[in-house]
Amino acid sequence: MASKMVTNFRRSLSFHNHPSYNSAKPKKTLHARSASLPCRSHPIISQLRDKVDDLNDRATSESGLRTSGWLCDGLARMKMVHDLLDDLLQLPQTRESLRGGGQHADLMEKLLEDFLRFVEVYGMFQTLVLRLKEECSAAQIAVRRRDDSKIIVHSKNLNRIGKEISNLVCSFHSMGKLIMPAVSSHDEEAELIEVINDVIKVTIVISTTVFGVISNSSAFRKPPSIGLSFKKKVKSEEGIKELEEINLDNLLGLRKKTEEDVKDVSKKMHEMEDCIVEIEGSGERVFRSLINSRVSLLNILTQ
């Protein structure tokens, strides 16, 4: 029985809102160049490797307190990498090289499993970020009403969700660990698998950073005890600036505060919610791009 093609998400042009980072040439130009090149590698592979290197440099060169803009920009760059990978997987020569029966069939199956795991993890991440947004909205109401009992409940819920986001990192432990054969100029299939595995590795690096800085932010973490204050202070510097501005456990006793104080707290919480909304949108775009990459890979293996 002929296997069926899996339909990709239709990519929206509005997603590409970082033109300064998108140096890829139009597909038609790339296809025309590839026909005249004496080497077997397609220009998209070189572009993809450059993008992966840039992402790795970005992840390792910056540390300490980050902003939500930095985080969302990293997710946007990672989406571009997966969009470029999807373009590579759509090429006829790529599909021909990777289609069934090759000596690297087992590696291809492992890559497919890794992409499935990415889709699952980012699906869970989207659910958790939605819960963060809902808890933040409910907490704002409790702050305006100066309801300490509700503030305590929402603080515990935010802390619990933050831990769940941190635990997503454990999903990557068995991923990106392919034992790659040496790539020669005559093994196009091995070269393609290698670059796909490089994309998986950099996706793990960026995702781990994203999940870590969110969960380490004080908005989703209990305030430090006296004995652990120094350790917690160091850890809090790895969070997101907009999510370091407030901690619900520190807001108890609002009934004794002035109206101006309550308004100031409400403003910070509104900014925190806006930050979460931005992260939610960036995560959603990455989620769809990951699905596209896996669908393209699956179609190659099942045709």
pLDDT category of residue 237 using cuts at 50, 70 and 90: very low
Structural domain for 218, as ranges: 71-180+187-302
Please give the pLDDT value at position 62. Answer: 61
Within a domain: residue 22?
no
Token pair of 258, please? 């002035």
Q: Which of 69, 72, 75, 66 is nearest to 241 (CA)?
A: 66
Please give the pLDDT value at position 267. Answer: 87
Q: Which carries the bigger pLDDT value, residue 183 or residue 136?
A: 136
pLDDT of residue 30 exceeding 90: no
Within a domain: residue 168?
yes
Residue 226's identity, in one-letter code, is: I
Which stretch, 126-135, 142-151, 225-234, has highest mean pLDDT?
126-135
Average pLDDT, the chain: 78
User: How many domains, the chain?
Assistant: 1
Within a domain: residue 41?
no
Task: Give the number of residues written for the chain.
Answer: 303
Q: Is 184 exposed, middle or buried (0-12, 13-18, 19+ CB in 10 A)?
A: exposed
Within a domain: residue 201?
yes
Within a domain: residue 32?
no
Q: For the segment 35-83, what is each residue's pLDDT rounded down to a tens digit?
A: 333 345 678 898 999 999 999 888 776 666 688 899 999 999 999 999 9
pLDDT of residue 231 exceeding 90: no
pLDDT of residue 6 exceeding 70: no
Q: 174: which residues sit within 8 A by CB, 6+ positions away?
A: none
Within a domain: residue 5?
no
pLDDT of residue 118 exceeding 90: yes
pLDDT category of residue 302 using cuts at 50, 70 and 90: confident
Do 168 and 125 form a contact (C-beta atoms < 8 A)? yes
pLDDT category of residue 101 using cuts at 50, 70 and 90: low
Q: For the segment 213-230, what is each residue's pLDDT rounded down to a tens digit?
A: 999 888 887 655 444 333
pLDDT of residue 258 exceeding 60: yes
Q: For the segment 168-183, what is each residue's pLDDT rounded down to a tens digit?
A: 999 888 786 665 555 5
Within a domain: residue 12?
no
pLDDT of residue 291 exceeding 60: yes
Within a domain: residue 148?
yes
Tell me the average pLDDT across 141-157: 88
